Amino acid sequence: MKKLWIGLGMVAVAALMLWGFHQAIDVAPTEATMGDVQRIFYYHVPNAMLSFLFFAVSFVASILFLAWRNTAPARAQAADAWALASAEVGVVFCSVVLITGPLWARPVWGIWWTWDARLTTTLLLWLIYVSYLLLRRFVEGAQMQTLAAVVSVFGALDVPIVYMANRWWRTQHPAPVFGGGPDSGIKDPTMLAAFGWNVLAWAVWGLMLLAFRVHVERRNQQIQLKASKAALAGR
Amino acid sequence: MAVAIAPPEQPGWFHLVGIHLRKDLRIEWRSREAIHSMIFFALLVVVLFSMAFDPTAAASREIAGGVLCVATLFASVSALNQAWSREIRHDVLDALRMTPADRSAIFVAKVLANFFFVTVVQALLAPVFFIFYNLRPLGNGWLLLAIVPLGTWALVANGTFFAALSIRSRNRELLLPLILFPIFLPALLAMVLAVKTILTGDGSDPHLLWLKMLAGYDIIFMTVSLLLFDTVLHAE
């Protein structure tokens, strides 16, 4: 019965993503100056928003792991599973952002890449979380979780510094679409709808991925715990 | 008659830093492994870049800051790896962990020792650097005396911290740069741009923003390193 519900849920998520695709490609009007290439915005921006969200979840979970590590080991293990899973899903979303960005920039700016505030910050986030995931593979045993959490804290410190540095330096990325001044915001309601559907679809897909990954990691932890208990019992 | 045994007197924090620092400097003085390998490595990087790009005087002002920072960065990674792996021999690290003294003293002493080594390397390398790249700073040359140490401190403080962290992995020599380079990026950016502004003298940074950013980076990361060092040392 549980499997049926999970299967139905997956079908629903797939349908939602198809609906979002339809909204972005067929329903939303073509943008006046950029033309069809603007449609990549319906993927680029939701993915960017969600990758930042997942990295924030990973950072908070890492802090919680460090706080609970000695006092509440069981809760700390759950926090570690969340930190790992959301870092992985965040890297996937961030990769989509880093691929779709240059695809849009080449026809509109005439260049694939520039060292600008948002681009640099996003790339740095991606690099830091890839190194976080590498660390988790390189180090063995229980200490790995603590060391990974420490790296995650350092990585999170870097992001605001780089962001501010690049604001002083130079910027080429478009001004924020939402909350970026009196002229910002999407005026066309069908464009806004397409954007909203895609945010929803990608968010649900990402959360589903996160839930599966946390579940797998918790199982993994249980198996390891059992194995170490058996080893202690001398079997 | 009960005799009250006075607990052995604890040395002060600065005294402890002094003891550790003297020990690290003495070990290096006897072997000179780290300094020799760093000097030669940094020299090779400077020569390689100079040959690969063969820059004109104007172009070399643009890129020299970057080359200097990257040469220091690559060279110091080898020394940073040695800094802690030395302590693993004869289980010195475990002994240090068991002492009741403040762990931050160990960390600060290591940072100071590495800072000294890297600064010596930079001082020896600077003339070579200026000759190969035909440099003559057009801006305030004396500001380099503030920028380079601040950038070096950022590199060495983070490097010492992450070397202590990666010492626990299977292939520790490989892991340190993989973690250190992304985290060090903001400081590298600030250092490169600050040096470039001085060498080209283009006056693009009248308020010394990059210098301030470097100082801020140093303060923030040193504080967090001190707070988390105990966690890393006792990560089990």
What would the mean pLDDT of B221-232 be, rounded to a whole number?
Answer: 90
The partner residue sitting opposite A147, judged by closest CB among B165, B190, B224, is: B165
**3-state DSSP call for residue A5?**
helix
Residues B171-226: tens digit of each pLDDT? 778 888 888 999 998 888 888 888 888 888 777 777 778 888 889 999 999 999 99
Whether residues B236 and A157 touch (CB distance < 8 A) is answered with: no
Residue A121: band (very low, low, confident or very high) from pLDDT cuts 50, 70, 90:
confident
Mean pLDDT (chain A, rounded) = 84
User: Does A134 sit within 8 Å of B178, measured CB to CB?
Assistant: yes
Chain A residue at shortest CA distance from B227: A150
DSSP character for B12? Answer: P
Evaluate if residue A163 carries a pLDDT over 80: no
A128, A143, A168 member nearest B235 (Cβ): A143
CB contact under 8 A, A158 and B216: no
Least confident of A121-130, B18-27, B198-207: B198-207
**Sign of the C-alpha dihedral computed for residues A47, A49, A50 and A54 taken in this order:** positive
Per-residue pLDDT at B112 exceeds 80: yes
Nearest residue on chain B to A139, judged by CA atoms?
B169
ipTM of the complex: 0.81
Q: How confident is the model at residue B152 (pLDDT cuts 50, 70, 90)?
A: very high
Domain count, chain B: 1
Q: How confident is residue A22, by pLDDT bands cut at 50, 70 and 90?
A: confident
Decide if pLDDT at A219 tops 90.
Answer: yes
For residue B7, being part of any structural domain is answered with no
- Indicate left, alpha or beta for B8 from its phi (over 0: left) and psi (-120 to 50: alpha): beta
The pLDDT, as a whole number, for residue A235 is: 60
User: How many CA atoms does the CB half-sphere of B230 hold within 13 Å?
Assistant: 12
Chain B closest-CA separation from residue A161 CA (Å): 7
**Is the Cβ of B222 closer than 8 Å to some Cβ of chain A?**
no
Q: Is the pLDDT of residue B55 over 90?
A: no
Flag if B216 and A161 touch (Cβ within 8 Å). Answer: yes
Tokens of A129: 């979380």
Residue B111 within a domain: yes
Range of the domain at B162: 13-233
Q: Provide the shortest C-alpha distance from residue B1 to chain A (in Å).
A: 42
B115 contact A CB<8A = no
Q: Residue A31's beta-bridge partner residues?
A: A35
B-chain residue closest to A131, CA distance: B179
| pLDDT for the residue numbered B88 | 83
- pLDDT (average), residues A35-55: 86
Q: Give the pLDDT band of residue A178 (cuts 50, 70, 90).
A: low
